[in-house]
Amino acid sequence: MGIRNLYKIIQTKAPNSLQTKPLSAFIGYRVAIDASIFLYKFMYVYGNVIDGLTRLTTILLKNGILPVYVFDGKPPKEKSDVLKERKEKRDELVLISKTLGKISLEKEKNPELKDKNEIVHIIKTYIENDLDCEYNENFLNADEWNIVIKGKPYEINKLQESVDKKIIYIRQEHIDDSKKLLDLFGVPYIIAQSEAESLCAVLCKKGIVDATLSEDSDVLATGGCVLLKNFTMEKGGSVTEVCLDKVLKEMELNYDEFLDMCILCGCDYTSKINGIGPMNAYKLIQKHKNIENIIPTIKSMKNCSVPNDFDYITSRELFKTACETDNFEIYKTSVLQTPIQITSLLAYLQQKCPKLKGKILADIQELKYEYKNEKLMNSPSNNDEESKVLKMVKGTNKKVAVVEKKKTNDKLVFSNTLDKYFSILPK
């Protein structure tokens, strides 16, 4: 879920911290990716995690970006309510799908079946007796009920297909297949001890990666320096860059104040204060600086109540101390690129997603020429260096430098550290 409506606040109060850029603007970056978010997305869009993961990895490598995929470990117990809620929603979709299938069969047997009371009786009996669940007429919305009662079997089947598409399971076999694919691509991945999104943020905070690619705003709450969101593969690929430092500067908050605002907006680790919207959360933090000072004010406000299970202290600690027991020295050696195994990769893709053809395979073929730059990709990432992006242009020996400009005393200064990067490039 992430932080509720955080982007709405940022768009309103810190618009300059959001910049949409082409992927080519991030040449030379090492980017952490919460794998699970994309695996679910690929299963929904393509019905095949390998298909989507291949497309994502290829377009990033093609733009000189080294992805570092992070897979989930064990979630913290504080997130159990959120996970339970997600399971209940999925179970409800399964119930709807099975019920639609039942009605479709009944209408095939009896094309004249259109009486609402009779259909409701069939559904109620099926749910309570066959599925052993409690019947609730609100499990379908008005449009869905209209299709169930008046629609033909093929219309009900079409509705069932749309529901089935939302029922997504990522199983261990999908994860194992993804890891094998990444090994063949020569792309690194890490198994997080806890949540992948938290580790992605901390890897960025510690300078082991340059940014995090995710739609989850928890990355910013955890202190991730650079978040890349709204990723699209269209027209060569683009993302919206969100820089935490710029967010804090424009909103005139320090990190601790920003974090407390995020908790007030609503997060996965605790319940939410009723009646406090995102803009009110921002205004209250601006005035009172922290949740401890805000609670007495909230208790005196009409239409606001503080739940007994509003555990902001634990939530705050989970964000601030995320991954603190992890061994980041090991992670530093886990983010390195290895040679692409092009023959084995193409054979694996033919086995797992034979429909993958055309331009994507041509792009993969060209990637084998990119590994000449592996030393550059494997050099330590450092968010504090002004000069960090170098790349060998494909098919040539031309050295290209993209240098970050830094203002010092109103003058543009360029780092002289380019020499050490040029020295490691192949001649």
Residue type at 256 in one-letter notation: D
- For the cut 70, the answer to whether the pLDDT of residue 12 exceeds it is yes
Give 26-40 pLDDT, tens digit per residue: 999 999 999 999 999
Of the candidates 86, 20, 31, 13, the one whose C-alpha atom is nearest the C-alpha of residue 231 is: 20
Q: Residue 43: which H helix or E strand, with range? A: helix 35-46
Per-residue pLDDT band for 374 (boundaries 50, 70, 90) equals: very low
Strand partners, 413: 406
Average confidence (pLDDT) over 362-388: 57
Check: pTM over 0.85? Answer yes or no. no
What's the chain's Rg over C-alpha atoms?
25
Residue type at 277 in one-letter notation: G
**Angstrom distance (rounded) from CA 255 to CA 88:** 34
- For the cut 50, the answer to whether the pLDDT of residue 424 exceeds it is no
* Burial class, 169, CB count within 10 angstroms (exposed 0-12 / middle 13-18 / buried 19+): exposed
Q: What is the dihedral of CA 419, 213, 319, 9, to 10 degrees?
A: 110
Give 150-208 pLDDT, tens digit per residue: 999 999 999 999 998 888 888 999 999 999 999 999 999 999 988 899 999 999 999 99
Per-residue pLDDT band for 367 (boundaries 50, 70, 90) equals: confident
Helix segments in 241-306, DSSP class H: 244-251, 255-265, 278-288, 291-299
- For the cut 80, the answer to whether the pLDDT of residue 222 exceeds it is yes
Question: What was the pLDDT predicted at 66?
Answer: 95
The DSSP code for 23 is: G
Average confidence (pLDDT) over 233-252: 95
Average pLDDT, the chain: 84
Question: What was the pLDDT predicted at 421?
Answer: 30
Could you tell me the domains of the chain?
14-252+326-380 (3.40.50.1010), 253-320 (1.10.150.20), 385-424 (no CATH)
Give 136-166 pLDDT, tens digit per residue: 888 899 999 999 999 999 999 999 999 988 8
